[in-house]
Amino acid sequence: MCIRDRDKSGPFWPLHRLNKLRLSYIRSKLCGHFGLNAGDEQPLQGLSILDVGCGGGILAESLAKLGANVSGIDVVERNIAIARHHSENAGLEISYQLDTVESLAKGESQFDVVLNMEVVEHVTGLEGFMESSCRLLKPGGMMFVATINRTLIAGLVAIVGAEHILRWMPKGTHRLDMFRKPAEIRDLLAINGLTVKDLVGVGVNPLARRMFLTRFKSVNYMLTAVHAPTA
């Protein structure tokens, strides 16, 4: 998703609320896994992070401000242009490239952390996509996946509610048959040597303009997985 509006109280408030929730979750998990001090101003210093489907860069920028060395890739040229423009204005050194995980994985690049946030529900050829994503992760590294469950209630909330009623995103953004069940993602990660360590749902209260973590995973969910270190 590209970022046209950085106003946190404007029409893009869901994106900003979601980014804040994800950032807190990612920061906590990374600090715990890598033994970092979550109380530091920039606790993620020394970590290399790849943001797949980075959009306009809102999450990439937030992680860079926490000290991480962030790279972002996207298949939409306009998104990359927006992300580069905003990071330059903010004085942040983030590497943005118009690229795919499949293409990037053919090289030598590897990262401590790979983010697939609201990406897999738009991907055809998911097996190859996940294989490439896992190949980009260093042994002992951590991957985050955020997506939409393939359930009837998810279709009602994400398509009917978010697209047609609340109009948070353009109509046709999502397809129910492309939504991914947690077990499907878990199996693809396991095939490529990753173990899921946490799985949590994401809830939203549109009236209070609040997003929160929940045990209810039938709509949106996030998971963390760890790549087994080499012996």
8 Å CB contact between 227 and 200: no
8 Å CB contact between 96 and 54: yes
Say yes or no to pLDDT of 230 above 80.
no
Encode pLDDT of 157-190 as tens digits: 888 877 778 777 788 887 989 999 999 999 999 9
Encode pLDDT of 36-88 as tens digits: 999 999 999 999 999 999 999 999 999 999 999 999 999 999 999 999 999 99
pLDDT, residue 127, reads: 98
- Mean pLDDT, the chain, rounded, equals 91
Spatial distance between the Cα atoms of 169 and 4, rounded to a whole number of angstroms: 12
Share of the chain above pLDDT 70, in %: 94
Q: How confident is the model at residue 13 (pLDDT cuts 50, 70, 90)?
A: confident
| Residue 146, beta-bridge partner list | 117, 222
Which helix or strand (DSSP H or E) is residue 156 part of?
A: none
Q: Coil, helix or strand for 85? A: helix
CA triplet 131, 49, 31: central angle to 5 degrees?
A: 110
